[in-house]
Amino acid sequence: MIQSGSVSFGASSTSSTVTLATPVSTTRAFPRLANVQHAGSGRTAASTSRLNNDDMGAHISGWDGSSFTLNRVSTAESVDHTYYWEVWCDDNPFPALDGWYSRGVKLALFQGGVSSVTIPAFDGVNDWENCIPVPLAVSNESTAREWGEACVSLTMQSDGTVLCERDPSSTGNRTRMSVAVMEFGANWTVSNNLSLSFTVAGGVDSELTGAGAGEWANKLLIPTSRVGSGVHRIDGVSFLVRPKLTVPGTILVSTESSATAVPVNSPTLVCHTASHPRLMVEHQDSKRYSGLRELTGLGHDVDLFGDYEGRDVVTMATAAVPGNLTYPRHLWSQRMSLTRPSVMEQIRSRTSTDKSDHSLQIIEFPHTEIGTGKAITQTATAFSIGMTGTVRVI
């Protein structure tokens, strides 16, 4: 059972514990912040001025299947902040075939000017090639606007360890990222460690291939990224990552930076995909669907193609924003609406008329049998241009 909610920090608190309504097994579940770049959505009341790294992020500790704790940086501003969270959980009765296992939640700690950290081997990994590292939450101690320090790429390694890489700023601040590893059953197709360093700016797409033959309607995408050296402008640390829906094996990435801001030392994207014939994923992005074009302001509702009433779904998102240092307008948080089953609500902590492009995934893990869920009457063209046929949610 998927569980989700929000946690509010008091004006002077730096940690808050979430207790689940229904405990779950740590071998089949993990918590994460539901947002862009794994940071908090930020202030409960929006800011009209810039916020710093230490004001925005949080990392996860103490996960035991019943509760977890979100931890902010001790120097964070003393203002109420609200974070949305999800617990990704697999309850498929045949996890070795059609489900997945959580191999644990661990913390990557980057000291000072350190650029790479290896998380020790995750317990229980049977086949690293069927594993995906998942970023859960991140915090950074910078009292300036240097979000590039908190952009961390994750690479699964053959010994069950995870390589975490970032570019530290000249001031060298500590970053903490919470990471889980998912190991998928035999009926899944996994492509991990797909890597691309790109130099094209101005919203132009670069292509990353190798994501496998499965259709995107049955494939999830876990993106991670690190920036080039010395890049901390918003446009240089935010990337729009989305599938090329007409080509199953191709991922698109773009940055809204100007040609003079990036290509600064080539940012690097490291992506992981997993597909299953009964996995259902709705992919949306504001470049493809003009009705979803460019988020502005503080909050935004996204009309979804599917009806998600009563269904267990989780989310994933990326965003790209143009120019300047008006932090933290590049950090959005999202949740499924509690009252409108075909709407996702998004929020950020900075009021601004500046726009941002975004991509979304609404993910429903495989159920026991085909046909156990409700049908979606739209054709697959509602999910991906160039596909035909009827989509059925199972």
Q: Is 55 helix (H, G, I), strand (E, B) or coil?
A: helix
By CB atoms closer than 10 A (0-12, 13-18, 19+), residue 48 is exposed
123-129: average pLDDT: 96
Print the SS3 string covering 357-368.
EEEEEEEECCCC
Span 21-34, pLDDT tens digits: 999 999 999 999 98
323-330: average pLDDT: 66
Of 34-43, 169-178, 316-325, where does mean pLDDT reach its minimum? Answer: 34-43
Which pLDDT value is given to residue 207? 95
- pLDDT at 57 exceeding the cut of 60: yes
The residue type at 190 = V
The residue type at 230 = G
Of 178-187, 349-358, 369-378, where does mean pLDDT reach its minimum? Answer: 369-378
pTM of the model: 0.89
Span 133-152, pLDDT tens digits: 999 999 989 888 888 888 99
Of the ranges 102-111, 227-236, 318-327, 337-346, which is most confident?
Answer: 102-111
Which pLDDT value is given to residue 325? 62
By CB atoms closer than 10 A (0-12, 13-18, 19+), residue 39 is buried
Number of H helices and number of E strands within the chain? Answer: 2, 26
- pLDDT at 384 exceeding the cut of 50: no
**pLDDT-based confidence at residue 260 (cuts at 50, 70, 90):** low
The residue type at 282 = E
Q: Edge-to-edge, what's the strand order for the sheet holding 81-89?
A: 3-9, 81-89, 29-33
Report cis status (omega within 30 of 0) of the bond before 322.
no
Give the count of beta carbons closer than 10 Å to the beta carbon of residue 103: 22
218-240: average pLDDT: 84
DSSP 8-class letter at 35: B
113-130: average pLDDT: 96
104-116: average pLDDT: 95
Of 37-51, 89-103, 160-174, 230-244, where does mean pLDDT reach its minimum? Answer: 37-51
- Do the Cβ atoms of 245 and 380 come closer than 8 Å? no
Which pLDDT value is given to residue 329? 67
Helix (H) or strand (E) segment spanning residue 136 = strand 131-140
DSSP 8-class letter at 217: G
C-alpha 381/C-alpha 388 separation (Å) is 6
* In the chain, domain spans: 3-392
**pLDDT-based confidence at residue 381 (cuts at 50, 70, 90):** very low
Strands (E), 255-320: 268-275, 280-285, 299-303, 314-320
